[in-house]
Amino acid sequence: MRTGPYAAILVAVASVSTAAIFISWSTSPPLTIALYRLAFATAILAPFALLAPSRPLAKVSRRDAVWMAGVGVVLATHFALWITSLKVQGVTVASSVVLVTSHPLLVGVLSHFVLRDRLTAKAALGIVLGFSGVVVIALADYGVSGATFGGDLLAFLGGVCAGVYILLGRGLRPRIPLLAYALVVYASATAVLFAYAVALGSSLAPSGDGTREALLFLALALIPQIGGHTLYNWSLRWVSAPVVSLSLVGEPIGSSILAWVLLDQAPGGAIVFGAALALGGIYLTVLGEGDRARQSEALRDVG
């Protein structure tokens, strides 16, 4: 089993954990934050993709380009929903990030039946255990106030989009170079977010201190987007969608710790318990994926 993709997933988890903090610090509207996050990421990646000697974009078929544009629509919708949920009064970083990562079960089932990435019993148990941890954290936070239902719903729908995003990426990434995939998807998402902002009358200009907001947008593009999402996309070439999806459960753990330190949002006992369940689920799922990979290699060697 290759260790590189799993190391990349660990770095990606740490990177995406910072997103909610940067978003909470920003005073701009949700769609504006999402738009600039993707626009900056696209601008950073464009020279590498366009000037690379291997010409990665030339290797993309028209059909795959259309599919990647569709992935961009899903990614844009994910960010629009989730970032909006973070800006709803009463919704904490912990609850929003937990709910947006509540898609491992959906991805696991769809990956099993659609992509034929058969789950081992250990991996299936890991998905259930990890999802149980997410539910524990969500219920603990939701019990504080029913007024957060709208924001919680937005975060959950954003999680559904995230699951579809990962699943589609798993189907496309094995045959598409990383730079080409990331550039087309991020550029498409930027265009969709621009359309969303215009259609919904959201401001296209940052609010508050322009320099501070630009630095936050740049941080979002460099750390959670390129250092997080792009690494996830790279790992999808070798790692099954359920493993990548469940690893995202590490995001609410990291985000909750950062929110505790930087935003003075201390997690309660139930959140700590849920985090332990989620980490146990990640561990079991990775072990189960490793077992499946070793079994597949053994079968090929016998054949």
Q: Which amino acid is at 20?
A: A
Q: Average pLDDT, stretch 293-299?
A: 52
Q: Rounded to an integer, what distance in angstroms lies between the CA atom of residue 76 and that of residue 68?
A: 12
Q: H or E segment at 165?
A: helix 149-172
Residue-range domain boundaries for the chain: 4-302
Q: Does pLDDT of 98 surpass 90?
A: no
| Proportion of the chain above pLDDT 90, given as a percent | 37
* Sign of the alpha-carbon dihedral angle for 293, 177, 115, 7: positive
Q: Does pLDDT of 299 surpass 50?
A: no
Q: Which of 20, 38, 142 is nearest to 83 (CA)?
A: 20
- Predicted pLDDT at 246: 65
- Predicted pLDDT at 159: 86
Higher pLDDT, 147 or 208: 208
Q: Does pLDDT of 2 surpass 70?
A: no
Higher pLDDT, 128 or 137: 128
pLDDT band at 7 (very low <50, low <70, confident <90, very high): confident
- Predicted pLDDT at 142: 67
pLDDT band at 82 (very low <50, low <70, confident <90, very high): very high
Whole-prediction pTM: 0.83
